[in-house]
């Protein structure tokens, strides 16, 4: 594993977390879009792991400094309901510009978990610069929530990059029928491979360490994560 440099950074008016190989001037990058935890310890660990593999990792901050480090999940859940699609996408485009620009990345993909998985799909449908899209248990219910302006399932047909979508069958936030609709939309595309993983009995958010006390969730993550890393390696090479 490479030596890394990691710290909180400012990108214009946006706070973010940056982890990259020590001394890196160019190379692959990934934009990380967190789940409800925000830029908590686990998201930082994932960014650090990618940096150790030679990939610059920049993490979007959905809650302006709030995370499971300093807020409860109930408090963060209230903030999720206030996120505005257009504002969020503009922030993520700014971070993507930063990866390609000042950070000098040659290829950049995106990975998102839960709410971040939904935004990864929306971003990739609009940003064809992306080299890949990885979505863990994306929160893409077919019935849009009050603060949702866009339908991630319908919009996903516009993605041109390869997509890996990872879904748990016991997802109470997104019924199996909605996952199947997303899979159908992705597989209708003329370009961009679709790699789908299905984990029977696993819960929404199974990648979250807090859910690994349940064996099926821990097993799903143990199987899925190495595949996601390999997918990232190949598509950003």
What CATH number does the domain containing 219 carry? 3.40.50.1820
Identify the domain containing residue 126 by its residue range.
4-236
Q: What average pLDDT does the chain have?
A: 97
Question: Does the pLDDT of residue 107 top 80, yes or no?
Answer: yes
pLDDT computed for residue 2 by the predictor:
83
Q: For 199-210, write each residue's pLDDT tens digit.
A: 999 999 999 999
- If one counts the domains in the chain, the total is 1
Each residue's pLDDT tens digit, 208-226: 999 999 999 999 999 999 9
Residue 59, pLDDT above cutoff 80 = yes
Rounded mean pLDDT, 133-141: 97
Per-residue pLDDT at 153 exceeds 80: yes
Q: Is pLDDT above 80 for 233?
A: yes
pLDDT(104) > 90: yes
pLDDT at 177 over 90: yes
Residues above pLDDT 70, as percent of the chain = 100
Instruction: Look at residue 24 and tell me whether its pLDDT is greater than 90.
Output: no
Per-residue three-class SS string for the chain: CCCEEEEEEEECCEEEEEEEECCCCCEEEEEEECCCCCCCHHHHHHHHHHHHCCCEEEEECCCCCCCCCCCCHHHHHHHHCCCCHHHHHHHHHHHHHHHHCCCCEEEEEEEEECHHHHHHHHHHHHCCCEEEEEEECCCCCCCCCCCCCCCHHHHHHHCCCCEEEEEEEECCCCCHHHHHHHHHHHHCCCCCCEEEEEEEEEECCCCCHHHCCCHHHHHHHHHHHHHHHHHHHHHHC
């Amino acid at each position: 594993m490479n030596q890394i440099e990691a710290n909180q950074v400012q990108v214009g008016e946006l706070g973010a977390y940056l982890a990259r190989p020590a001394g890196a001037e160019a190379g692959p990058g990934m934009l990380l879009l967190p789940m409800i935890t925000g830029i908590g310890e686990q998201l930082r660990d994932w960014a650090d792991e990618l940096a150790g593999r030679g990939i610059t990792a920049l993490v979007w901050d959905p809650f302006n400094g709030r995370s499971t480090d300093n807020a409860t999940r109930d408090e963060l859940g209230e903030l999720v309901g206030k996120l505005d699609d257009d504002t969020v996408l503009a922030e993520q485009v700014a971070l993507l510009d930063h990866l390609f620009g000042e950070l000098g990345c040659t290829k950049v993909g995106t990975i998102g978990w839960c709410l971040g998985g939904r935004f990864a799909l929306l971003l990739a449908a609009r940003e064809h610069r992306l080299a890949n899209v990885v979505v863990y248990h994306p929160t893409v219910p077919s019935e849009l929530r009050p603060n949702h302006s866009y339908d991630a399932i319908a919009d996903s047909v516009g993605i041109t990059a390869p997509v890996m979508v990872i879904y748990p069958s016991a997802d109470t936030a997104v019924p199996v029928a909605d996952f199947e609709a997303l899979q159908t939309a992705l597989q209708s595309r003329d370009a961009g491979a679709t790699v789908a993983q299905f984990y029977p009995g696993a819960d929404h958010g199974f990648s979250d360490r807090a859910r690994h006390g349940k064996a099926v969730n821990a097993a799903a993550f143990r199987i899925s994560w190495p595949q996601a890393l390999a997918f990232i390696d190949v598509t950003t090479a």
